[in-house]
Amino acid sequence: MKVSLAWLKELAEIRMEVGALAHALTMGGLEVEEVAPVAGAFSGIVVGHVKSVAPHPNADKLRVTQVDAGTGSTLTIVCGAPNVAAGQKVPCALPGAKLPAAGGGAPLEIKRAKLRGVESDGMLCSARELGLSDDHAGLLVLPADAPVGRDVREVLGLDDTVLTFKLTPNRGDCLSMFGIARDAGAITGCRVSLPPASPVPSAIADARAVGIAERAACGHYFGRIVRGIDPAARTPEWMARRLERAGLRAISPLVDITNYVMLERGQPMHAFDDAKLSGAIDVRRMRPGERIRLLNGEEVDYRPELLAIADASGPVALAGVMGGFGTMVGPATTDVFFEAAWFAPEAVQGKARELALTSDAAYRFERGVDPGATGAALERAVALTIETCGGRAGPVTHAQGELPARPPVPVRPARVRALLGYPVSDEAMHDILRRLSCLPESIGDAIRATAPSWRFDLAIEEDFVEEIARVHGYDHVPARAPRASVPMLALRDGERDRFTMRHALASLGYQEIVSYSFVAEEWERDFGGNARPVRLANPIASHMSVMRTTLLGGLVQALRANLNRGEQRLRLFEIGRCFEGDAADLAVQPERVAGLAYGSRWPEQWAEKPAPVDFFDVKGDVESLAAAGALEFSAGSHPACHPGRCALVRLGGETLGAVGELHPRLQLKYELASAPVVFELLAGPLMKGSHPRFAGLSRMPAVRRDLAFTVADAVSAARLLSAVRARVPAFVREVEVFDQYRGKGVEPGKKSLALRIVMQDTDRTLTDSEVEEIVASIREQLTQEFEAQPRT
């Protein structure tokens, strides 16, 4: 909503500076999004009267004009505008005048100059040169009655400011100058004077009967004929200027008058060409087989829920939305039938959107229009029509349906103070409700308030409390720090929370992403092997139509987005809910942690040669996530992973997920230069911990023994380590694989594994016999369980 400050000041006696006014209105709930001057800074531009125009002796596209600018002598000005003509009133920049520079630079000063041998005493200006618009096709032609020599800023009212409001949907009453003025008066305390619409006496007896079949949808329908208007009449400059500053374009007098009344009073109107109507007007639903062509040229077929304005021939307009093409006014219209109606918001809501239409009328009716001002709006439009276009008005015809009730609401001052949290006197509440036209009355220990007809958002006590708060001023709300007893939440020893897990992954170089829980069905097939995902009944987009069961799709999408922007090395992770089950029962919502590594193992540096990240790099990252116990890895499969480069991850016998290289098919499909390594695990078990146990540091020397064995390729290092660790005594501190070898000296189908065994007691030094006994028992165990053969 754009509002001319000069127009607003005609309705409300505002004395505040524009910045203070914008702040006060914003704090009062009417957010001022922008404050902009109507025109740029310029001076020395006056109204000039072009006396004569002659060709330039030395240039085909230039003209030599004689201009009266009120200086006492005729000025010779060279002009290149194609539309310059004798008799015009145009802006004339005198020597010394300053024009706004393009791009906000220094002002352009006009000087006497010789153009192609002819002395020019100034410059005739276009709208673009004055910073009023981008139109540079020709001179800005001023009204014929503009006084010669008068400052153009004064003539065009350019010392004005436009306020752009960002209104909330419940404030439909502020979609007009009257509404903004009322609220400005309530917020600032200034006096508001809204001009009444005096009834226009009838000069002819011609009238068109009106009726309302859908009484619940239409509360008022006013109609009036005006005959004999002048089709050659022009929209007054003052009206066109106000429409333009409100963001509307002047079209023709009748259309402009209906738009002006809508801007002024908030009442949408429509003007029919009376000669194109037949019979009485009725407000009813569309009937089967009916269709209507709208003003924008689109045709709408029968829909049972659409409310129509119909004459004897059928629908001529969609009620509250848009008029019909067949009955619209045009250049030849001499008789007009004005309509002013009130439609219930629920009868109009959603209709324009359903039909893919944009309509100022529907925008207002959906939010609520003042039913008490419908007749006055009609009188205002008729008066402006006769003033602008002439003509004679017939009597008003009126039909009435059901109107909304405005029952009084008790507002308890004690309740107001309790909800606001700070004291407001009863007198202040009375004053605020009076300024809001809510007719406050004292009834016992309460105030009885009745909402005015234009406030559809005031229905219960809390609505009036909100009004008191905003008008009294949010600046009055005291800034008190909250005081509360906040108990410390229990956290078991050793357990992690999500923040700790996020911190752990971030310390490994991973960056967190957050993706939607709604994903493409294709992702579910590719990354989860899910052919029957849970579908959304009303998806927000076609590519977000199902619930996710895996986080990998979002990670791959984020990877592609970063690769497209030049990134070459990425580590990404996400912690989030997935959704399993069917559409009837989505109770299973496991929380998972998933990650992705792509590119080189290390950032580019001099100390390490470039090498791509591999399975074992990510496996090590995954191992560091377990808060309790060692993770177990075994060869397995996952729909998103390479068949031979994937491992299932277990903890305490429970399968948590998988880690592996992305499937070559998916690498090709998603256009990745190399395959990233991904993992996805259940987050809950990873966050479970064990109680910490104290253990002293041993002062005794540690003993290390290295053993090498050949075992079958099928024997995994994890199985071998798990078996050994389960049987060694407590003073064996470490059993690890530090080498794996296949090749010369090792039989085909077998591999060599080298174990590092570290032994250390806390109380004494281990003897050689104890060490050899442990080593011998490990050799025997490996030989018996895995048919391992020692290597020398």
Locate 790 and state its tokens: 């020692």
Poorest-pLDDT segment among 98-112, 396-410, 607-621:
98-112
User: Which residue type occupies 646?
Assistant: C
Nearest residue to 549 via CA among 573, 521, 585, 507:
521
Q: How confident is the model at residue 358 (pLDDT cuts 50, 70, 90)?
A: confident
Nearest residue to 83 via CA among 131, 39, 155, 142:
142
Residue 429: CB atoms within 10 Å: 23
What is the DSSP code (8-state) at residue 167? Answer: -
User: Which residue type occupies 691?
Assistant: H
User: Which residue type occupies 469?
Assistant: A
581 to each of 429, 517, 545, 640, 760, how far by Cα in Å? 55, 15, 16, 20, 51
Tokens 């109009």 correspond to: 348
Measured between alpha carbons, how far is 748 from 750 in angstroms, rounded to an integer? 5
Measured between alpha carbons, how far is 183 from 30 in angstroms, rounded to an integer? 9
Poorest-pLDDT segment among 4-18, 135-149, 647-661:
135-149
Measured between alpha carbons, how far is 142 from 134 in angstroms, rounded to an integer? 17
Kindly tell me if the per-residue pLDDT of 704 is higher than 90: yes
Locate 164 and state its tokens: 């752009």
Nearest residue to 282 via CA among 377, 352, 362, 214:
214
- Sign for the pseudo-dihedral over CA of 465, 470, 471, 475: positive
Q: What is the rounded radius of gyration, in angstroms, for the C-alpha atoms of the chain?
A: 41
Is the domain covering 210-400 a CATH 3.30.70.260 domain?
no
Residue-wise pLDDT for 186-218, tens only, equals 999 999 999 999 999 999 999 999 999 999 999
Q: What is the secondary structure of 278-317 as a DSSP string?
A: -S-EEEEE--TT-EEEBTTS-EEE--TT-EEEEETTEEEE
Nearest residue to 3 via CA among 28, 29, 33, 23:
33
Tokens 């080298």 correspond to: 754
Kindly tell me if the per-residue pLDDT of 493 is higher than 70: no
Beta-carbon contacts of 63 under 8 Å, excluding residues fewer than 6 positions away, are 53, 54, 55, 56, 78, 79, 80, 81, 84
Measured between alpha carbons, how far is 110 from 44 in angstroms, rounded to an integer? 9
Q: What is the pLDDT of residue 137?
A: 77
Kindly tell me if the per-residue pLDDT of 335 is higher than 60: yes
Mean pLDDT in residue range 368-394 = 96
Mean pLDDT in residue range 22-48 = 91
Residue-wise pLDDT for 549-598, tens only, equals 999 999 999 999 999 999 999 999 999 999 987 666 666 889 999 999 99
CB 294 within 8 A of CB 362: no
CATH class of 703-790: alpha beta
Measured between alpha carbons, how far is 239 from 237 in angstroms, rounded to an integer? 5
Measured between alpha carbons, how far is 450 from 38 in angstroms, rounded to an integer? 39
Beta-carbon contacts of 313 under 8 Å, excluding residues fewer than 6 positions away, are 278, 279
> What proportion of the chain, given as a percentage, has pLDDT over 70?
97
- E-assigned strands of 129-287? 161-166, 210-212, 218-227, 269-273, 281-285
Q: What is the pLDDT of residue 691?
A: 64
Range from 428-432, 543-547, 682-686 that averages highest in pLDDT: 428-432
Residue-wise pLDDT for 245-301, tens only, equals 999 989 999 999 999 999 999 999 999 999 999 999 999 999 999 999 999 999 999
Residue 560: CB atoms within 10 Å: 13
CATH fold of 2-38+161-188, please? Phenylalanyl-tRNA Synthetase; Chain B, domain 1 (3.30.56)
Contacts 24+ apart (CB under 8 A), 532-538: 534/579, 534/581, 534/582, 534/583, 534/586, 535/583
Helix extents (H) in 425-513: 426-435, 461-472, 498-507
Over the chain, what is the mean pLDDT? 91
Beta-carbon contacts of 278 under 8 Å, excluding residues fewer than 6 positions away, are 311, 312, 313
> What are the residues facing 635 on neighbouring strands?
647
What is the DSSP code (8-state) at residue 766? Answer: P
Classify 651 as helix, strand or coil: strand
Kindly tell me if the per-residue pLDDT of 107 is higher than 90: no
Measured between alpha carbons, how far is 453 from 377 in angstroms, rounded to an integer? 15
Q: What is the pLDDT of residue 632?
A: 86
Residue-wise pLDDT for 598-609, tens only, equals 999 998 888 888
Poorest-pLDDT segment among 140-149, 476-485, 509-518:
476-485
Q: What is the pLDDT of residue 492?
A: 66
Is the domain covering 498-687 a CATH 3.40.50.300 domain?
no
Mean pLDDT in residue range 674-689 = 90
What is the DSSP code (8-state) at residue 475? Answer: G
Kindly tell me if the per-residue pLDDT of 776 is higher than 90: yes
Q: What is the pLDDT of residue 39?
A: 84
593 to each of 298, 431, 667, how far by Cα in Å? 52, 59, 21
Locate 35 and state its tokens: 């404050």
> What are the residues facing 43 on neighbouring strands?
98
> What are the residues facing 646 on neighbouring strands?
660
Q: What is the pLDDT of residue 696?
A: 76
Residue-wise pLDDT for 616-626, tens only, equals 999 999 998 88
Locate 750 and state its tokens: 């077998």
Q: Which run of H or of E encompasses 363?
A: helix 360-367
CA angle in degrees (0–180, nearest 5) for 397-398-403: 170
Residue-wise pLDDT for 516-560, tens only, equals 999 999 999 999 998 888 888 888 888 899 999 999 999 999 999
Classify 640 as helix, strand or coil: coil
Residue-wise pLDDT for 143-157, tens only, equals 888 999 999 999 988
Q: What is the pLDDT of residue 48?
A: 95
User: Which residue type occupies 66?
Assistant: Q
CB 453 within 8 A of CB 403: no
Using DSSP bridges, classify how beta strands 89-99 and 43-56 pair: parallel, antiparallel or unpaired: antiparallel
CB 203 within 8 A of CB 392: yes
Mean pLDDT in residue range 377-385 = 97
Nearest residue to 512 via CA among 593, 447, 448, 439:
593
Kindly tell me if the per-residue pLDDT of 628 is higher than 60: no
Nearest residue to 679 via CA among 591, 626, 615, 613:
615
Q: What is the pLDDT of residue 38?
A: 87
Helix extents (H) in 573-631: 615-623
Q: Which phi and psi angles does 361 have, rounded to 5°?
A: -65, -50
Mean pLDDT in residue range 658-668 = 96
Q: What separation, in Å, do the N-terminal and C-terminal C-alpha atoms of the chain show?
A: 89
- Sign for the pseudo-dihedral over CA of 664, 666, 668, 673: negative
Measured between alpha carbons, how far is 761 from 700 in angstroms, rounded to an integer? 7
Instruction: Just give the CATH number of 43-155.
Output: 2.40.50.140
Helix extents (H) in 18-146: 18-27
Kindly tell me if the per-residue pLDDT of 350 is higher than 70: yes
CB 728 within 8 A of CB 753: no
Domain residue limits, the chain: 2-38+161-188, 43-155, 210-400, 412-446+463-475, 498-687, 703-790
Measured between alpha carbons, how far is 126 from 99 in angstroms, rounded to an integer? 11
CA angle in degrees (0–180, nearest 5) for 761-767-768: 125
> What are the residues facing 284 on neighbouring strands?
308
Locate 418 and state its tokens: 């309790």
Count how many Cα atoms sit within 13 Å of the Cα of residue 112 in the half-sphere of its side chain. Answer: 5
Q: What is the pLDDT of residue 225?
A: 97
Name the residue with higher pLDDT: 184 or 627: 184
CB 590 within 8 A of CB 550: no
Residue-wise pLDDT for 172-183, tens only, equals 999 999 999 999
Residue-wise pLDDT for 47-99, tens only, equals 999 999 999 999 888 999 999 999 989 999 999 999 999 999 999 999 999 98
Locate 550 and state its tokens: 């895996």
CA angle in degrees (0–180, nearest 5) for 297-301-306: 100
Beta-carbon contacts of 509 under 8 Å, excluding residues fewer than 6 positions away, are 571
CB 170 within 8 A of CB 367: yes
Q: Which run of H or of E encompasses 114?
A: strand 113-115
